[in-house]
Structure 1
Amino acid sequence: MSMPALARPLARPSSLLALLLACGGDGGITTSDAASTGETSPGTTADTTATSSPTTSTSTSTSEDPTSTTTSTTTGELTDTGVGPTGSTTTTGDLTTGDLSTTTTTTSTSTTGDTSTTTGTSTGDTTTGDTSTTTGDTTGEPGELGVISGDCGLIDLMELESPDPFVFTGAIDFGVLGYDYDLLTPGGQQIYDEGNLNPGSLYSEIVAYEVLARCEMAALLKTEATIVYTDPMGKKTDFLAEIDGLKIGVSVVRAVGFPKDAPWTVGQAETILNGKLSDIQLSSANVAPEDAWVKQILSVVAYGPMHLESLLTAYEGLDPAVKADTILVITVTDGDDAFIYN
């Protein structure tokens, strides 16, 4: 009896594996490896980020280094601000850098310095110097004859009501203009128009009044020929003025030699002062009650500094009784003053 054929045995697992490999199942292996390597996906992502970093690197760098970025950005803004018209960035720039702040401070200091200098000049020169100039120099204004300097604006109620003598000195410079009727004060024009008792001294009386009018705010009350006296033939004064509400008599004399530049001595000055101061006391006693003054001023119009020096020296040696109750005002004339002494 013949035996039945036996079935083929099953392949071993290793043979199965070999079979599968022979069939080319790579995709399964790759998938299996990918699944088992859990780092591949993050690694790929990181590479991708690195690839895009050149675009965002500045941003990342800016985020990590704010000081550098702030400095760079601020510097850029300040440079632009220096060129452009925007002012708000300049303020930020000033606070950030300090350079612009220094520039601003320097500019401010320069401006303040200029202003201070101007103010100083106005304050130093104008307050101290200018006040002094205003006191001693009342002219330079249109419509005034000559420039007055020296003691000016110093006669007030104290001197006018005191029985003591006082001395004030000054000058008036007529420049190249000389005499001009139209530049006189109204009182000066009135003296010219009405004349006086001695035509040779008319211009010196006008100058004496101009000085008192512009320095002491004197107002002309009466000219020489209109003042009322008790004795019409007695001693008289040259004009009657009002200063600080008080009536003041004014007597005028010229101090000049012939020729004009000849030495003028203390003796000559003493003669003039003694004569005029004595006449003042006589005229004060002669004036009628209606025109009576509280004090007299002796105004000496002097040709030059030499004459002033002689007058002051002579005055010191005079008898106090002669000088009593009189104010001496000496005015030296400069410039074209020939009209006074001719």
Structure 2
Amino acid sequence: MRTSMLATVCAVGLTLAGNALAESALKVLGQDYNFPNKIDGLPTKLSDFQGLQINSFTTSDDVRISYWEAGEGEPLVFVPGWSANGAEYINVMYLLSRVYHVYVMDPRNQGLSQRVEHGGRISRFSMDLKELSDHLKLEKANYAGWSMGASVLWGYIDLFGTSRIDKAVFIDEPVSIYSHVDWSEQERLDAGGTTTSPERMVDGFTGGKPLNALVTDLVPWERAPLMDSPYYENSASFAQHFIQNDPKAVGRVLFNHIVNDWRDVIQHKIDVPVAIFSGEYSNNLPSQRWIHKTVPQSQLFVYSKAEQGDHFLMFKNPVKFTGDLRGFLDQ
């Protein structure tokens, strides 16, 4: 669920959503960027990431969708979560682009994609993903969805099946954020339900209204601002410098996202190898164990607290994440 809350929790910088994008990232963003931490094996500045591009296409309902692209080889498509964007994937992309042709989609109303009032539903986001795949002419690819991005991927599978998916990756997303009042506690844990009030949850996420543990899972909000990893500090500062979210725009999909229940898709429609990532800091872990138990061809990766096993694990520990992901994809 929740996803780059960092983009909502923290202040952010420059809006580029109106530009036409079909250039190198350096040219699109208009300036170089020096990362705050020098880390061996990763770029010290944006211009060190040669070959990184930011491109775009127009959907069937006339929305410009941006996507980040780098590398060559087998295609690997990332779908960010709620309020998230491709800039946050800078380290992940750099590490994986040595082996794969990596794409990161900026969902509508997020990142560098167009802000619009229509299409605020997971089904439309899933259609956007399908149309991105069509635009890229991907007959077969690996897909990885983080947080709400996993829901977008489940919606894609529900609508279009798995014929164009080689392997799928789901990163720390509850199966149903909305907790039905007639569920047992075990059903709630299996689904990952954290709220019985979608309206209050939306108000808290987009309007700054008070949040408590009865409204939503507070752990991601507590973990998001912690710059407890130099990798995370680099990617977060880069995203904050260049991306500005509009709370009203990102909020348009949130209610629909909260009330979707994906148990039937996971139980009946996933027939490709799956990797699931979660961690000891995450209250989503029981639901990730349920997905692992339910999907026959699945592997579960649980990161310890020492391994930065929270909702932002792939940004806080990108070296381990990309290594584990490569191991799964290369099997």
Bin for the TM-score computed over the shorter chain: under 0.3
| TM-score, normalization by structure 1 | 0.25
Over alpha carbons, which structure has the higher Rg? 1
| TM-score, normalization by structure 2 | 0.26
